[in-house]
Structure 1
């Protein structure tokens, strides 16, 4: 049996409790991508033409060590002829989106971040499967589950109109510039 505590006539400017008062506050940390989205909001009306940032230029150019093959050739060489048309259209959509926001340094930073995340996840999760000669089904599943889905889930609503479909387009953009391949 618990001893009874009587509290009468108390005047308090805060909590009155017979024991502990637990208060938990969760604050989301401000990460790099959140800061970029904030910058993007402020840049929308104050854009001036400028060059592409270095990180984005890296993904827009093919690595010098890579043989120059078209996206269609890369897909056909790995028995993915069924997605050539879709991939070519998606790659072009990604390029147009990048060009549309070329005057916004925050947008360029966000695009470079997305492309960097896609490339890093590809190198970590898909490239080893390709080297191990995994099946198309295994490779495509890894692309979706380990590369595209996590990056798409990190997107925030913004004037950039980013979605899972756009993330797929950026993946084909990377493939077109030889940063991602299936063989």
Structure 2
């Protein structure tokens, strides 16, 4: 038990006698489905011969492949290294579901664009909002809440009006897929 003794002091602010866990949530901008619709229109106007289309395919494939320069240890070990054993079974299930769906998407530029859009948004939000929480030693439940609000629900709200086949579980699958491919780091 911690004990604090303060004598002859004028304290302004909290006095903490143990651990203090503050969580700061960054509220993302309101979802804007017009952004993804414009991207779909643009990808639909390109042909497979267009240089811009080839660049897009290269970028999309960079998310589907293991990230260079990082050891390949698998999703399970990455989560264990990040002290998130509680997520392993469900994460593997979600990741495998997305991997199968992504393989089918190889035949559809529209699907590829939607998945690319979501994957890059997940990576950016994870690096900008979740990774700092992990580094700061935030509680697992606070990290999970931030993932849900700032990634899963935010993206779902944005893409649902464009593609009803994408549910929140699939977005979690994409998050764990990126983890397994070494794009997201869960350990300190």
Question: Normalized against structure 2, the TM-score is what?
Answer: 0.69
The structural deviation recorded for 1:133 is 2.0
Whether 1:119 aligns to 2:131 is: no
Q: 2: CA distance between counterparts of 1:130 and 1:162?
A: 27
Name the SS of the counterpart of 2:71 in structure 1. coil
Whether 1:35 aligns to 2:42 is: no
Structure 2 unmatched runs, 5+: 1-31, 46-53
Please, what is the CA RMSD of the aligned residues?
Answer: 2.8
Runs of at least 4 residues of structure 1 off by over 6 A?
39-42
* CA gap 1:160/1:36 in 2 versus in 1, 3 angstroms: farther
Asked if the contact 2:79/2:85 (under 8 Å) is kept, the reply is yes
* CA gap 1:153/1:62 in 2 versus in 1, 3 angstroms: same
Residue correspondence of structure 1 range 67-78 to structure 2 within 5 A: 67-78=71-82
Q: 2: CA distance between counterparts of 1:116 and 1:92?
A: 19
| Corresponding residue to 1:147 among 146, 151, 162 | 151
Structure 1 unmatched runs, 5+: 1-28, 43-50
Larger mean CA deviation between 153-162 and 106-115 belongs to 153-162
Partner of 1:132: 136
Whichever structure has more helix as a proportion of its residues is 2
The structural deviation recorded for 1:30 is 7.9
Q: 1: CA distance between counterparts of 2:117 and 2:160?
A: 13
* CA gap 1:142/1:159 in 2 versus in 1, 3 angstroms: closer
Residue correspondence of structure 1 range 88-99 to structure 2 within 5 A: 88-99=92-103
Q: 2: CA distance between counterparts of 1:86 and 1:31?
A: 32
Report how many residues are paired: 149
Comparing both chains, which one has the higher relative contact order based on Cα–Cα distances under 8 Å and sequence gaps of 6 or more? Answer: 2
